[in-house]
Structure 1
């Protein structure tokens, strides 16, 4: 056997969608994990910013613990529900589209097998294979799993890993709650005259961390990402505090 030939273990691992080399995950596996991590970081970021804005705004109107806690808890729950529902609806629509594409591809394979084979061969030829090799690859893949071959080459879909709306909804809600807990705790624990300052510092530090993680996951410049999120968060907190102070005084 040539050293360039795959071993049977590598073939089995590839068929199972597992890494064929230690510590070297497939691009699809790595991309999937990065997408989930990025979504989690963004959900936590939303929880931090939106809830912090609420509690800082209320703290600008009153120093009473009860209203601040109630507003923070309400913002946390409402935000988590909104994020979860929005993610569920969005991913459900994506899954419906994926299922429609699956059904369409099945019909085409059943009704026009020759045309689909020619289409698959053309796709591989466009990727650089010679006409003869492209047709041979298309033939062998069609014999092995015609639907899977077309979904992968044409649409980049895996029928065994379609979008999961419930999973996305739960992950979104959890990440939002994790982020939202921080400003609620930071505004309630210190003495009244320290509340806003401590909360702002804690929130900006958390945003800087979230920006760093998000930038590293996306291979983007860290300083610029952190600067954007911290400056944006600071402006948002300043605005909500000003609104709370202004209207709280006016109403009171």
Structure 2
């Protein structure tokens, strides 16, 4: 395989440096999560208000209120959810520490069966068990990953919340910009800018997805436009009932 297609070096020094640095904690998903939701909900407000034939002033008031209130709500929810993941990890880790202390033979057998299922047999299997269980920290970390499927790294709830909030505000404000600037045919300008934003966010999502950037972009675009169309239809319906 052409080395130019490799994401990182595979020489001994490159590997040692990368492993010493440790796994990278990414907050890209928090940005995409906040960006998509911010754009969808704000443009849904715009579409609903336009469908109901309300004034531009009402549109901006409702749009701004939604932008900041929902942005904070999303950030708070992400903070709480991320913190819950950390608390779950800590609870399971404490349980494993207690089990290793009170039932070490049983925990060794768990390690043995885990690595036997991976294809280790005979002396290789026993050597793997001995090495892993020789250090308490390594033993428990192995149980956390192999038995419980919990990742060995944890993300910062504060950073996750901030990334979500900033993305929500930055992307969610885009549907309002044509109305703030007083652009003629603002709804069409808002629709075009929002559609581009949906596509751009979806394309960014492909950074950690095996899907091609254009497919991820189109998928997010269709989801966002569908949500906006629903909001517009509701606005037209409610305007007709008034």
TM-score by length of 2: 0.80
Aligned pairs, number: 230
Deviation at 1:39, TM superposition (A): 3.3
Indicate which of 225, 229, 235 corresponds to 1:244: 235
Which stretches of structure 1, 4 residues or longer, exceed 6 Å deviation after superposition? none
Residue matched to 1:71: 62
Contact 2:112 2:126 in 1 (8 A): yes
Deviations 1:139-177 (A, max 9, x none): 122223332333233334466x33533332222222211
State how far apart, in whole Å, the 1-side matches of 2:104 and 2:221 are: 56
Residue matched to 1:41: 32
Contact 2:30 2:160 in 1 (8 A): no
Residue matched to 1:130: 121
Cα separation, partners in 2 of 1:6 and 1:250, compared to 1, 3 Å: closer
State how far apart, in whole Å, the 1-side matches of 2:56 and 2:80 are: 36
Contact 1:94 1:163 in 2 (8 A): no
**Gapped runs of 5+ residues in structure 1?**
19-27
Alignment of 1:132-211 (within 5 A): 132-144=123-135, 145=137, 146-157=139-150, 161-191=153-183, 193-211=184-202
Contact 1:88 1:165 in 2 (8 A): yes
Residue matched to 1:118: 109
SS across alignment from 1:217: coil
Cα separation, partners in 2 of 1:174 and 1:111, compared to 1, 3 Å: same
SS across alignment from 2:182: coil
RMSD: 2.9
**Gapped runs of 5+ residues in structure 2?**
1-10
Contact 1:45 1:207 in 2 (8 A): yes
Residue matched to 1:21: none
Residue matched to 2:216: 225
Contact 2:51 2:236 in 1 (8 A): yes
